[in-house]
Amino acid sequence: MTPNFKIDHANCADCPIRHRAVCAHCEVDELEELEGIKYYRSFEAGQTIIWSGDQMNFVGSVVSGIASLTQTMEDGRTQMVGLLLPSDFVGRPGRDSAPYDVLATTDLVMCCFRKKPFEELMNKTPHIAHRLLQMTLDELDAAREWMLVLGRKTAREKIASLLSIIARRDASVGPKTSTEPIVFDLPLTREAMADYLGLTLETVSRQISALKKDKVIELEGKRHVTIPDMGRLMDEAGDDSDGGFLV
Amino acid sequence: MTPNFKIDHANCADCPIRHRAVCAHCEVDELEELEGIKYYRSFEAGQTIIWSGDQMNFVGSVVSGIASLTQTMEDGRTQMVGLLLPSDFVGRPGRDSAPYDVLATTDLVMCCFRKKPFEELMNKTPHIAHRLLQMTLDELDAAREWMLVLGRKTAREKIASLLSIIARRDASVGPKTSTEPIVFDLPLTREAMADYLGLTLETVSRQISALKKDKVIELEGKRHVTIPDMGRLMDEAGDDSDGGFLV
DNA sequence: GTTTCCACTTGATCTCTGTCAAGGTGCCTT
DNA sequence: AAGGCACCTTGACAGAGATCAAGTGGAAAC
């Protein structure tokens, strides 16, 4: 895990990049330049932030809420290819157009920088390029981890894998011992889960019911989840020992 | 497509990075430094180049042959998460250990650089970091494209998608008109194809036979493939219009 | 208070792909 | 030339998940 490559809004309500603990090498003049080009955007759940193929004239990061990267085939089949949680980076320095739709899965706030100035700053300050490389390698690891999920796991294992990822992300700011129950609200509809896992929403629903019946998870309402034993969930996900997730 | 971010051995029998047409910004002193730290390694088909979790003290690129990045679950299920064709980059600057096995799928020659000196050079010359970022973004695009294949495509579409990728890669140095038939030798066993596509080798075999029966492809022996109509194959793959593959 | 709507659940059935099993083909060895 | 082996094909059957179709529950709207 390399949490310091993520932009951490938790400790930094204003601007992500100016946060010293995350970006220790930042010089004051860089910060001021970034300050000048940053702005915030809000989106409602279900809104499309960027359409596949569109020009993308900004980069940024998720402040709150959840966004997803989604590919759609002509006949309507869709596959989510990335899940963007708070602190995740959005954008493709050096690229003009988006290769997939970016959707606000929940209400969402993003912190954006106009791409041109950001890229100029990046060219001037090598360590920003270096950090972006590390972040991109993290994303690549996460994408490849997910290829194993999509290609080889059963529906039950897929659900367990997704719950693991969300639980771990939450757990990174919550309890650290594995015996302690983990509690969170599912930020995705059953349909969004299905799109991420390459399943139908009916199968998602059935497998969640099965995991509940088998006491791997507890459900209160449709979204509020308790994981009494994280190790048990990881076993169900079929990951070796501690996994090593990076999403 | 951004072919100039790939290291092109086709025009450069000796050392990839010194090739001016590919790396127009290279200065002579860089080349000499790279020259000093480069070396070649050969592997036989089936050999493991790097085990998941191993220290990885080099970066490099494929000169000839095919390598694959493979993840394996405890019970033996395996998923190929990347296919490395000639000119593809191998390695993770800034990372110490490999997150998956790297296998020589065919006999293979790689051009390697010791990682430490390569990283030092990278730190001194920003445009190398920039190129690596672009290459990593390409890999990320390819991985996400493949997530759609794994999650939502049928067995027949999966096979057609794989054949498309291989045909396109070959076609980039071959015929350019879409009416001209494309001919190539499959560099993968049926089992390797199955591991890449999240299928069993029996299903791969059946679908190849079906595509042959339907005249989408022609087969001579088990590996020699002719694509009489690339457009037809792309339709079978379910990709919108021209696809935009980057693998 | 009841209506409406949306997200979700559950059931019945179907189908694609996996599993198990039996050959086939061509190459390399001896 | 014969044998062995790796790679591939094909068949029969089974099962996981998709599809089609009701039905439930809870919150917002009227």
Q: Which residue's entry shows tokens 């991420």?
A: A196
Measured CA to CA, the distance from residue B196 to residue B142 in angstroms comes to: 13
Dihedral in degrees, nearest 10, Cα atoms B72, B73, B79, B85: -20
pLDDT over 70, % of chain A: 79
Mean pLDDT for the stretch of residues A98-108: 94
A220 touches strand C (CB under 7 A): no
Does residue A95 come out as left (phi exceeding 0), alpha (psi in the -120 to 50 range) or beta? beta
Q: What is the pLDDT, as a whole number, of residue B30?
A: 56
On the question of pLDDT at B11 being above 50, the answer is: no
Q: Please, which pLDDT band fits residue B175 given cuts at 50, 70 and 90?
A: low
On whether any CB of chain A is under 8 Å from the CB of B126, the answer is: yes
Q: Is the pLDDT of residue B24 over 80?
A: no
Burial of B10 (0-12, 13-18, 19+ CB in 10 A): exposed
Most confident of A53-62, B141-150, B236-245: B141-150
Q: What pLDDT does residue A30 have?
A: 56
| Nearest chain A Cα distance for residue B29, angstroms | 20
Mean pLDDT of B16-30: 40
User: According to the model, what pLDDT value does residue A22 have?
Assistant: 39
Supply B160's token pair: 């057609």
CB A77 within 8 Å of CB A135: no
Extended beta strands in chain A, E state: 38-43, 48-50, 58-64, 67-72, 78-84, 89-90, 101-104, 108-114, 182-185, 218-220, 224-227
Structural domains in chain A, sorted by start: 3-149 (2.60.120.10), 153-237 (1.10.10.10)
**Which range has the top average pLDDT, A23-27, A207-211, B90-94, B241-245?**
A207-211
Q: Quick one: pLDDT band at residue A120, thresholds 50, 70, 90?
A: confident
Q: What contacts B29, CB < 8 A, 6 or more positions away? A: none
Q: Name the band, by pLDDT with cuts 50, 70 and 90, for residue B112.
A: very high
Closest residue in A to B2 (Cα) is A95
Mean pLDDT of the B96-122 span: 92
> Does residue A152 carry a pLDDT above 80?
yes
Structure tokens given for A162: 């997704």
CA separation for the pair B138, B1 (Å, rounded): 9
Rounded CA–C1' distance between A52 and C16, in angstroms:
31
pLDDT tens-digit map of B113-159:
999 888 888 888 888 888 889 999 999 999 999 999 999 999 999 99
**What's the rounded Cα separation, in Å, for the pair B160 and B236?**
6
pLDDT for A164: 96
N-to-C CA span, chain A: 10
d(CA B158, nearest CA chain A) in Å:
11
Higher-pLDDT residue of B120 and A213 is A213
Of B92, B99, B141, which is closest to A99 when you measure between CB atoms?
B141
**What percentage of chain B carries pLDDT values higher than 90?**
66
Rounded Cα distance, B128 and B236, in Å: 39
Distance, CA of A130 to CA of A119 (rounded, Å): 13
For residues A171 and B129, the answer to whether their CB atoms sit within 8 Å is no
- For residue A211, pLDDT beyond 50: yes
The answer to whether residue A124 scores a pLDDT higher than 60 is yes
Ordered alpha helix ranges (H), A55-200: 115-124, 126-152, 155-171, 190-197
Q: Judge whether residue B247 has pLDDT over 50.
A: no
Those residues whose C-beta lies under 8 Å from the C-beta of residue B2, and which sit 6 or more positions away, are B134, B138, B246
Mean pLDDT across chain A, nearest whole number?
83
pLDDT at B33: 64
CB pairs under 8 A between A and B: 114
Calculate mean pLDDT across residues B14-43.
Answer: 56
Query: Which residue bears the tokens 């954006």?
Result: A112
Do the Cβ atoms of A147 and B146 come within 8 Å? Answer: yes
With vertex at residue B132, the alpha carbon angle to CA A39 and CA B83, rounded to the nearest 5 degrees, is 115
Chain C bases near protein CB atoms (7 A cut-off): 7-12, 16-21, 26-27
> Is A190 within 7 A of strand C by CB distance?
yes
- Per DSSP, B50 falls in state E
Question: Among A4-8, A25-29, A61-65, A190-194, which range has the highest average pLDDT?
Answer: A190-194
Question: Which has more confidence, A247 or A202?
Answer: A202
Q: What is the pLDDT of residue A247?
A: 38
The partner residue sitting opposite B79, judged by closest CB among A75, A148, A244, is: A148
Which range is least confidently modeled, A236-245, B13-22, B108-117, B195-204? B13-22
Please tell me the distance from the alpha carbon of residue B96 to that of residue B81, in angstroms, as a whole number: 19
Mean pLDDT score, B177-204? 92
Average pLDDT of chain B, as a whole number: 83
Tell me how far CA of residue B61 lies from CA of A168, B57, B141, B235, in angstroms.
35, 14, 19, 32
β-strand A38-43 against A108-114: which pairing, if any? antiparallel
Q: Nearest by CB to A147, which of B81, B95, B244?
A: B81
* pLDDT band per the 50, 70, 90 thresholds, residue A201: very high
Question: Could you tell me how far CA B108 lies from the centroid of its own chain?
Answer: 13
Residue A104, classed as helix, strand or coil, is strand
**Burial (0-12, 13-18, 19+ Cβ within 10 Å), B3:** exposed
Q: Give strand D nucleotides closer than 7 A to any protein Cβ.
A: 7-12, 16-21, 26-27
| Helix (H), strand (E) at residue B62 | strand B58-64
Per-residue confidence (pLDDT) for residue A174, from 0 to 100: 57
Picking from B77, B129, B197, the nearest residue to A129 by CB comes out as: B129
Best mutation site among B137, B153, B162, B246 for testing chain A: the one with the most A CBs within 10 Å?
A: B137
Q: Which comes out higher in pLDDT, residue B15 or A157? A: A157
